[in-house]
């Protein structure tokens, strides 16, 4: 073909110029290449309950394979409403206040697109989950980063108050918290409610680890606090709760006016979420022990992993919720967090994630994050390797 006639792709201006390959992808690829135990990315290496698969299989065989209603299968929305009411005492109307989403990720994006306009600011608390800022940028907004208190990773209400401006449209909160494994207390939620009382700021509450809170503590959903519930999108994920991260099904609960705007975005984004999974999840949710048993299940793994860490020179930080365990490695190395995690993966055979990856300014604390949602055997192999450090 004549060079002059070769079709040329026009140059594209990036919508997200700052986004590159994420550290999770990098570490997972390194883990495969170097046969490392992957305690980096947050997903279980064990399977879900066969009863859940059977419930989805039954729904498919019953012919439940066509488009469901836009907001989700009514039986699943009813089951979600019943669960939230039983646990947090707030009744959301399944018809007008609950929407099933393609995982929490889509719920967060759609909530942000629903409320954030160009020029708006959204407060995010660093370290934070990596999708928040690109989502805010996609809506034309600006992420205003406020650090959690170094060391304790609790909210710094003075700094949050100082970050509030007339342009603040929303704040993203995440408890139990990825990556620090901290859990907000009732008093902290009440302080958030008091701080936002005179404002029109919405809360995007990422509660994907709601059922992983340990040592007898209770998850403080924003749904428990009427003032917060009135301004919040409460977001959760079946992927985390039922060990099916690959299914990508979650939900958002929000007051009817917020849900109405959310659904406008949802309708022209994914429109709806796959039908048989929704029916299967609705049937499986009928037994509350499936979500109520999760805390004990993961607390045992947390304790096993932490007991094993005593044989190492890594110093574990408290894990009050989630399936993450952060460790201070400063007794072993003064490398940067990313260098340490690369070294740990490629030379020592255990993949971890640097905490700095969760900060906009890559703040360094000599802390790495492990995920303990793994088979006991996997954790044992990782711990043997970590004991050699």
Ligand X SMILES: Cc1ncc(COP(=O)(O)O)c(C=O)c1O
Interface contacts to ligand X, rule CB under 6 A: 42, 103-105, 129, 174, 178, 206, 208, 237, 239, 245, 248, 250
Please say which residue, 291 or 383, places its beta carbon nearer to ligand X: 291
Please say which residue, 116 or 383, places its beta carbon nearer to ligand X: 116
Least separation in angstroms between residue 3's CB and ligand X is 45
Least separation in angstroms between residue 317's CB and ligand X is 17
Answer yes or no: are the C-beta atoms of 83 and 285 closer than 8 Å.
Answer: yes
Please say which residue, 208 or 254, places its beta carbon nearer to ligand X: 208
Least separation in angstroms between residue 146's CB and ligand X is 17
Look at residue 70 and give its three-state secondary structure.
coil
Please say which residue, 210 or 337, places its beta carbon nearer to ligand X: 210
Please say which residue, 207 or 383, places its beta carbon nearer to ligand X: 207
Return the closest-CA partner of residue 248 out of 201, 208, 284, 286: 208
CA–CA separation, 261 vs 147, rounded Å?
30
Query: Which residues on adjacent β-strands are paired with residue 126?
Result: 147
Least separation in angstroms between residue 124's CB and ligand X is 11
Least separation in angstroms between residue 238's CB and ligand X is 7
Least separation in angstroms between residue 129's CB and ligand X is 4
Least separation in angstroms between residue 100's CB and ligand X is 12
Return the closest-CA partner of residue 15 out of 126, 113, 117, 140: 140
Please say which residue, 105 or 312, places its beta carbon nearer to ligand X: 105
Helix H or strand E segment including 203: strand 202-206
- Locate all alpha helices (DSSP H) within the chain, ordered by sequence: 23-33, 50-61, 74-88, 103-115, 132-138, 157-163, 186-196, 226-229, 238-241, 256-267, 275-285, 289-292, 294-309, 337-348, 376-387
Degrees, nearest 5: CA angle 369-375-377: 100
Answer yes or no: are the C-beta atoms of 280 and 52 closer than 8 Å.
Answer: yes
CA–CA separation, 71 vs 271, rounded Å?
8
CA–CA separation, 169 vs 200, rounded Å?
7
Please say which residue, 172 or 282, places its beta carbon nearer to ligand X: 172
């Amino acid at each position: 073909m004549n060079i002059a006639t070769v079709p040329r792709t026009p140059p594209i201006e990036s919508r997200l110029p700052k986004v590159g390959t994420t550290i999770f992808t990098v570490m997972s690829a390194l883990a495969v290449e170097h046969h490392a135990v992957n305690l980096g990315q947050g997903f279980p290496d064990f399977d879900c309950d066969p009863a859940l698969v059977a419930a989805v299989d039954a729904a498919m065989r019953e012919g439940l394979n066509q488009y469901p209603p836009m907001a989700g299968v009514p039986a699943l929305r009813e089951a979600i409403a019943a669960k939230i009411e039983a646990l947090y005492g707030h009744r959301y109307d399944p018809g007008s206040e609950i929407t099933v989403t393609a995982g929490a990720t889509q719920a967060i994006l759609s909530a942000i697109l629903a409320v954030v306009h160009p020029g708006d600011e959204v407060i995010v608390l660093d370290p934070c989950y990596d999708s928040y800022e690109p989502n805010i940028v996609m809506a034309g907004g600006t992420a205003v980063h406020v650090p959690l208190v170094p060391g304790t990773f609790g909210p710094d209400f003075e700094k949050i108050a100082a970050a509030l401006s007339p342009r603040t449209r929303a704040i993203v909160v995440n408890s139990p918290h990825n990556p620090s494994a901290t859990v907000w207390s009732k008093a902290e939620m009440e302080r958030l409610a008091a701080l936002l009382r005179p404002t029109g700021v919405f809360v995007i509450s990422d509660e994907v680890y709601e059922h992983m809170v340990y040592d007898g503590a209770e998850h403080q959903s924003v749904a428990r606090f009427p003032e917060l519930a009135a301004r919040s999108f409460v977001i959760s994920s079946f992927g985390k709760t039922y060990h099916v991260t690959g299914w990508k099904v979650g939900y958002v609960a929000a007051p009817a006016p917020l849900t109405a705007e959310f659904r406008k975005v949802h309708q022209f984004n994914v429109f709806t979420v796959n039908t048989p999974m929704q029916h299967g999840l609705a049937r499986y949710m009928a037994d509350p022990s499936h979500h109520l048993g999760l805390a004990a299940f993961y607390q045992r793994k947390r304790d096993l992993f932490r007991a094993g860490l005593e044989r190492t020179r890594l110093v574990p930080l408290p894990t009050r919720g989630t399936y993450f365990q952060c460790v201070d490695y400063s007794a072993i190395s003064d490398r940067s967090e990313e260098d340490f995690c690369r070294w740990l993966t490629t030379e020592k055979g255990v993949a971890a994630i640097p905490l700095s990856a969760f900060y906009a300014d890559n703040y360094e604390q000599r802390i790495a994050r492990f995920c303990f949602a793994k088979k006991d055997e996997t954790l044992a192999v990782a711990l043997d390797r970590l004991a050699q450090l």
